[in-house]
């Protein structure tokens, strides 16, 4: 296995944003190695911005992210479904096989062992029989299953999921939650941006509640208490009304 199971992600007074406009303020804390954390909060709270920064797609405006020496390319990353170009002419098998690219190199040959691993991953997410289907012909749920299969082949010790259950049916959500639980049981560090608080309380031990800054970070049931959620909503309404105040605070 090529993954490192000892990596913690540490945030030291991290401020993130675009064009100098902060989206996340002064975030300090630690995602422990092997932890399973839901990143929650109102729309515009900075959840996806945080995931992009952790995966190295966005540089902090201030503060520091310590990945324990882990190369960001060695992280497993599932972007929002809207970021996948579904018009690209590629079938399910070849798309999932891209998860092997880090190991074989972009122009490396995919051998029999790799092909077997791709077939196993496709079967594990319930897409057997869809190998030759063009990705543009898949439903939302099938697309997410395919993305999870690609992640399986990356065999990463740190996995970041940005809204993995958006536009997905209940059965698919249940299957993918089971897959995340299996990854967690293997000792991987997993973060997922999620909106369904009942699902988080049932399946995610830890939660980070964001409203551009940390509202609560700890055991999910405590972090998503009625009191904390009300505070996050108030903070969200405040930054909707006073966007300029957020800029001054940075």
Position 86 scores a pLDDT of 83
| Per-residue confidence (pLDDT) for residue 107, from 0 to 100 | 55
Mean pLDDT value of segment 38-58: 95
Q: Over range 35-39, report the average pLDDT.
A: 98
φ, ψ of residue 77 to 5 degrees: the values are -135, 125
Phi and psi, residue 230, nearest 5°:
-65, -40
At residue 108, the pLDDT reads 59
Helix, strand, or coil here: 187?
coil
**Separation of CA 1 from chain center:** 21
- CB distance 35 to 208 below 8 Å: no
Cα–Cα distance measured from residue 68 to residue 163, given in angstroms and rounded to the nearest whole number:
25
Q: What is the mean pLDDT of residues 26-54?
A: 95
Write down all domains in the chain, each with its CATH number in brackets: 1-75+159-250 (3.40.50.300), 86-155 (no CATH)
Find, among 38, 6, 35, the residue nearest to 183 by Cα. Answer: 35
Q: What phi-psi label fits residue 107: left (phi over 0), alpha (psi between -120 and 50 degrees) or beta?
A: alpha
C-alpha separations of 225 from 35, 195, 214, 215 in Å: 20, 14, 14, 11
Tokens 């296995």 belong to residue: 1
Tell me how far apart the alpha carbons of residues 3 and 76 are, in angstroms, rounded to a whole number: 10
Residue 7 is given by DSSP the state: -
Q: Tokens at residue 166, please? A: 């958006």
The 10s digit of each residue's pLDDT in 103-129 is: 555 555 678 888 999 999 999 999 999
pLDDT value for 24: 95
E strand map for the chain = 9-18, 21-31, 36-40, 62-66, 76-78, 158-162, 189-193, 206-210, 214-219
* Bridge pairing between strands 36-40 and 189-193: parallel
Tell me, what's the pLDDT at 176? 95
CA angle 181, 67, 28 (to 5 degrees): 90
For position 104, what pLDDT does the model report? 55
Kindly report, residue by residue over 146-165, the tens digit of the pLDDT.
Answer: 999 999 999 899 999 999 99
**pLDDT number for residue 141:** 92
- Is the per-residue pLDDT at 3 higher than 70? no
pLDDT confidence band for 80 (50 / 70 / 90): confident
Name the pLDDT band for 135 (thresholds 50, 70, 90). very high
Mean pLDDT for the stretch of residues 78-96? 88
pLDDT above 60 (res 245): no
Given a cut of 70, whether residue 185 has pLDDT beyond it is yes
Write out the two tokens for 56. Answer: 């190295």
pLDDT over 70 for what percent of the chain? 90
Alpha carbons 236 and 107: distance in angstroms, whole number:
46
In the sheet that holds 189-193, the strands lie side by side as 76-78, 158-162, 189-193, 36-40, 206-210, 214-219
The predicted structure's pLDDT at residue 18: 86
pLDDT exceeds 90 at position 175? yes
Q: How high is the pLDDT of residue 112?
A: 85
With a cut of 50, say whether residue 247 has pLDDT above it. no
pLDDT of residue 249: 34
Confidence at residue 248, expressed as pLDDT on a 0 to 100 scale? 32
Is the predicted pLDDT of residue 85 greater than 70, yes or no?
yes
């Amino acid at each position: 296995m090529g993954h490192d199971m000892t990596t913690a992600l540490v945030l030291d007074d991290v401020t993130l944003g675009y064009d100098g406009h902060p989206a996340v303020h002064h975030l300090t804390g630690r995602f422990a190695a092997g932890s399973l954390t839901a990143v929650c909060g109102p729309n515009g709270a900075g959840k996806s911005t945080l995931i992009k920064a952790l995966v190295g797609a966005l540089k902090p405006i201030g503060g520091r992210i310590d990945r324990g020496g882990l190369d960001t390319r060695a992280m497993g990353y599932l972007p929002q479904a809207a970021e996948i170009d579904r018009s690209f002419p590629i079938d399910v098998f070849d798309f999932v096989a891209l998860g092997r690219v880090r190991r074989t190199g972009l122009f490396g040959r995919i051998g029999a062992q790799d092909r077997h691993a791709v077939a196993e991953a496709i079967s594990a997410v319930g897409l057997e029989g869809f190998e030759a289907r063009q990705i543009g012909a898949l439903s939302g749920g099938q697309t997410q299953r395919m993305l999870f299969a690609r992640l399986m082949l990356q065999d990463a010790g740190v996995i970041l999921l940005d809204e993995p259950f958006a536009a997905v049916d209940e059965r698919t959500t249940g299957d993918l939650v089971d897959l995340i639980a299996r990854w967690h049981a293997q000792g991987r560090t997993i973060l997922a941006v999620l909106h369904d608080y009942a699902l988080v309380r049932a399946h995610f031990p830890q939660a980070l509640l964001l409203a551009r800054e940390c509202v609560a970070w700890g055991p999910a049931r405590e972090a998503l208490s009625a009191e904390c959620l009300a505070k996050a909503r108030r903070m969200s309404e405040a930054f909707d009304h006073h966007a300029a105040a957020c800029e001054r605070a940075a």
